[in-house]
Amino acid sequence: MAFSSALRSGRRLSGLASWMSSGSSRGRVCVPPILITQQRNQSSSSKIKVDFDQSTGVAVMHMQSPPVNSLSLDFLTEFCISLEKLEMDKGCRGLIITSSQPKVFSAGLDILEMYGKSPERCGEFWKAVQEMWLKLYGSDMVTIAAINGSSPAGGCLLSLVCDYRIMADNPRYSIGLNETLLGIVAPFWFKDTLQNIVGYRNTDISLQLGLLYKPSDALKIGLVDQLVPEDQILTTATQTMSKWLAIPEHARQITKSMMRQSTIDKLRSNREADIQNFVSFITKESIQKSLRMYMEMLKQKKA
């Protein structure tokens, strides 16, 4: 399966997300010679590292949860706390999200958060996934995904909610919402997010077939906005950020809200039902069996 090639070895197997569901200063921002690293829970177990340059108002969030930046409950909690603190800092106007792990941006939702867990735990986990999406999709900051590796399923969603996506031009990498390959269904808000970006027909084909796109193909359908050599990802993201921050902030923020609010409201008004749908689906014996078979397949590939 193409999806498994994006995964690294290790116990934290990940990459799927979902179930059946219902329904304003100007000027060039340069790569700063000195970054102020925000010491926010920067312990050896920290999954998020934030570098914030106060002189430019731009923060770089490094996902550093080996082996593949699985979106576990702990990861999502730390991610949301870091994002909320940046939002509260009036000096922070832009956020670049990237990975510290080689060859992978994020392999998606952590399967171990969905396999063999109680309904209560599954519900807590799904609420954290929703929270990540709501906070990032509705952020007042300019958000840029610097995709320096493969980004399937939930990893793709993480990049989709950003304002702009720059991906490493490496044919070994892939990106897409490939849930159907595991016999499960992307939720309506995953679908809506993708459709808002690549249109109805591309979304229809992508979700039904569980497609993972190479960077060049992702660029063709608008799934990513720009391809650059891997060693130029952060430099390009910083230069691109300067163009976005040159726009009068109030006008940009209102426009962003106008474009996204109906999608956000749709999830907010169905949030509890969405959680219940997820829990009901993911705890089904047939789905648990599929997850178990998938993990066994990954172990065999590793061996």
Q: What angle do CA 158, 179, 128 make, to 5 degrees?
A: 45
Give the type of residue at 211. L
In this structure, what token pair is assigned to residue 63? Answer: 């996902």
According to DSSP, the residues that pair with 105 across neighbouring strands are none
Q: Which residue is catalytic, options 13, 86, 95, 109?
A: 109
Strands 58-63 and 48-53: antiparallel
Write down the catalytic residue from 83, 123, 177, 179. 179
Alpha-carbon torsion angle 296, 76, 260, 96, nearest 10:
-100
Catalytic residue of the set 69, 148, 178, 202: 178
Catalytic residue check, 10: no
10 Å Cβ neighbour count for 230?
13
Residues 101 and 12: their CA atoms lie apart, in Å, by 14
Residue with tokens 């956020």, as numbered in its chain: 95
Which H or E run contains 272? helix 271-282
154 is catalytic: yes
State the catalytic residue, choosing from 94, 123, 154, 155.
Answer: 154
Measure the CA angle with vertex 18, ends 203 and 274; round to 5°: 100
Are the C-beta atoms of 60 and 96 separated by less than 8 Å? yes
Contact 110, 69 (CB under 8 A): no
Q: Active-site residue numbers? A: 109, 154, 178-179
